[in-house]
Structure 1
Amino acid sequence: MVLKSALSVGWLLLTLPFLLVASFDNSRSDNLAVYYGQNSYGATHSDTANWQKTLSTYCQDDTINAIPLAFLHVFFSTGGLPEIDLANTCNSNNNVFPGTRLAKCPSLANDIKACQARGKIVTISLGGATGLASFTSDAQARTFAETVWNLFLGGTSTTRPFGDAVLDGVDLDIEGGSGKGLTAFVTRIRELSQGASKK
């Protein structure tokens, strides 16, 4: 797990207004975001495989407000879908959707819902230090926003990595590249969320 301040450069938490919960308050500067998925204790520990606990374990901590699942690190992979890597919890070396490298992680659905029931927001974090996370155009960024919407947020798809769990938003942890298309990506996610909130 990696802690990251909400004030860090390059960090953006985009939450969906119709999914916000009581304990996370976007107007506050003291929300604590704890990244989940990268098993950051690393290979120097002899018990690495058991270092990262279940997501629901961390949701018991009342000081944590937001949990970005890290990372969706490849935007465009086999079959045109992204790749996610949550270290020992779920990655493309495990079970994937046919014709893709998008990992199936349905076991996280109940944990995500349990965290949300405790007032945490759970997001998907895009990028990371080693990610292939960039766009060639605004049009590509808007299309990718629709993919993220359908795979992780309020849309629908037969390839939802977390089953029927609906995440609360997107965290952008883009640590390299030009930033091209990011504004178009965010704008399209907001348009989709606003459309869903009117239904």
Structure 2
Amino acid sequence: MKSIIITIMIFFVSAAAPKKLDSVGVYWGQDGPEEGTLVSARATDRYSILVMVYLTNLGSGRTPILNFTGHCNPTNNNCNMSEDIRFCQERGIKVMLAVEIYSLSSRDDAKNVSRYLQNNFLGGRSAYRPLGDAVLDGILFMNQQDLLYYDDLVIFLSNYNNNSSSGGKLSLAAAHPCPPPGSTSMGPAVDSGLIDLVFIESYSTTNSRQCDYNGNISEFKNSWETMNARIPARKIYLVLPASPQVAQSGFIPADVLKSEILPVLTKLPRFGGVMIQSKLGDDKTRYTDQINS
């Protein structure tokens, strides 16, 4: 009986007494020195996923731009964070890089972008690796809409072996706005089944508000059950702002999340956890501490 109780505590959140979430991720990299380093994010003991935000301007022959505001200047070759990355990975934290694709002009272009990501940030080799020789655990695509040849890029990347410092396979993730009502597709890239993690942004959506929690738990439950049934990802995460100031709409107070939202979501077979926007905001509001108190 004791082992059964322990299992329930780890993997489920009961309606009466929610327990600590199995997985909490956070976006890091856009709030300057005030948000601290990757090592300091690990030291909070709040997160299991750290997403470094971000690499932009990829595709169509453009020069990629690495932007970690206030942390380092890649033009001076001073963004080597390998020691910090490995420190986090060796302690069980998955470290991923958020990327934003400008456009992809062809299947060959998608292949070239995949090769660039593999050789400069993942398990490949390059004379110039912007973050140093540490091998990241995965890539998070931040595009808000499906692009031509996006699915080809996902296919090419999925064929690489990563062999990251944490020992896991390459993880591919996609941040996605809440799909519009009645939609049957998330786009070829997500529908391919090669995206491991899908982060559903449930606030400030422009095409739909069905994923926002508006006080009606039944509507919220129905929308998430529908997504869970049709998104072929391994895990689906709920992206949350750490404060009302971050979101134009859809902010969920921590006590409401614990008492009403998590008891619904944790019953879904592929619910992975929550993603917090952002590390600095979380430091100021202690949102994840309130969730896991």
TM range (shorter): 0.5 to 0.7
Maintained 8 Å contact 1:126/1:133: no
Q: Tell whether 2:64 aligns with 1:82.
A: yes
* Greater share of residues in helix: 2
Other-structure match for 2:197: none
- What secondary structure, in the 3-state scheme, does the structure 2 residue paired with 1:62 have? coil
Could you list the runs of 4 or more consecutive aligned residues of structure 1 that deviate by over 3 angstroms after TM superposition? 194-198
In the alignment, structure 2 segments of 5+ residues that lack a partner are 1-20, 170-293
Question: Which one of the candidate residues 15, 18, 23 is aligned to 1:31?
Answer: 23
Pairwise mapping of residues 32-181 of structure 1 onto structure 2 (< 5 A)? Answer: 32-39=24-31, 50-76=33-59, 81-92=63-74, 94-96=75-77, 104-106=78-80, 108-127=81-100, 133-175=102-144, 178-181=146-149
In the alignment, structure 1 segments of 5+ residues that lack a partner are 1-28, 40-48, 97-103
Q: Residues 119-164 of structure 1: CA distance to partner in whole angstroms, max 9, x if unpaired? A: 011111101xxxx622112221111101100000000001101111
Separation of aligned partners in 2, 1:75 and 1:145:
10
- What secondary structure, in the 3-state scheme, does the structure 2 residue paired with 1:51 have? helix
Q: RMSD of aligned C-alpha atoms? A: 2.8
Amino acid corresponding to residue 156 of structure 1 in structure 2: R
Amino acid corresponding to residue 145 of structure 1 in structure 2: S
Q: 1:151 to 1:38 in 2, by over 3 A?
A: same
The higher-RCO structure (CA 8 Å, 6+ apart) is 1
Separation of aligned partners in 2, 1:34 and 1:75:
23
The aligned length equals 146
Question: Which one of the candidate residues 186, 192, 198 is aligned to 2:154?
Answer: 186
CA drift of 1:194 comes to 7.3
Maintained 8 Å contact 1:125/1:172: yes
Separation of aligned partners in 2, 1:110 and 1:77:
32
Q: 1:84 to 1:122 in 2, by over 3 A?
A: same
Maintained 8 Å contact 1:77/1:83: no
Separation of aligned partners in 1, 2:128 and 2:93:
25
* Structure label with greater radius of gyration: 2
CA drift of 1:184 comes to 0.8
Amino acid corresponding to residue 55 of structure 2 in structure 1: L
- What secondary structure, in the 3-state scheme, does the structure 1 residue paired with 2:160 have? helix
Q: 1:50 to 1:126 in 2, by over 3 A?
A: closer
